Amino acid sequence: MSDLVIHRVSESAYQDILALNQSEVQYTSPMDLERLKLLDSLSSYHRIAMINSQAAGFILVMKDHAAYENDNFNWFSLRYDNFLYIDRIVVGKEYQGCGVGLLLYKDLFSFARQEKIKIITCEININPPNERSLVFHHKLGFREVGSQFVDHKKKQVSMQVKLL
């Protein structure tokens, strides 16, 4: 996709990120402007993918030992050192299947190698299921290393790791 550009997130992109997140909130978690500002300040890697000046997707990632209070991040923190945790990746519906997510991940993997980080972590909903995400992450080499219930046992997530 030659017209796709990946940028570091700036405040000017916040409204686009909020809109993308809201469009896929059933697979991630709600996020308002205050929450986005907090997550951005804690992140070590936060990028937005633009196609023809339109926001196509974004990824927000924390490094181990970030001052981030999150059940899934904490789960990985108890088990791994020197890792990156993908808090969320969202691709707009009209751009799904166009390679946006793949390019965001390739850029993240390049960043991780540059930082000498060999473990990438994330969680994927398995109840309710997010089959598309499970298939996508499996193709990229992520493997389940556990599972847990979150959100007052309303959701079950698969804890996933990719070794670089």
* CATH number of the domain that residue 100 is part of: 3.40.630.30
- C-alpha to C-alpha distance for 70 and 57, rounded to whole angstroms: 22
pTM: 0.95
**Domains of the chain: total:** 1
- Helix, strand or coil, per DSSP, at residue 71: helix
Give residue 1's pLDDT: 55
Domain with 148, as residue range(s), is 4-163
Give residue 38's pLDDT: 97
Under the banding of pLDDT at 50, 70 and 90, the label for residue 32 is very high
Residues 111-156 pLDDT 10s: 999 999 999 999 999 998 999 999 999 999 999 999 999 988 889 9
Give residue 73's pLDDT: 98
Indicate if the pLDDT at residue 63 is higher than 90.
yes
- C-alpha to C-alpha distance for 131 and 137, rounded to whole angstroms: 10
Give residue 124's pLDDT: 95
Give residue 26's pLDDT: 85
Q: Is the CA virtual torsion 96, 48, 120, 103 positive or negative?
A: positive
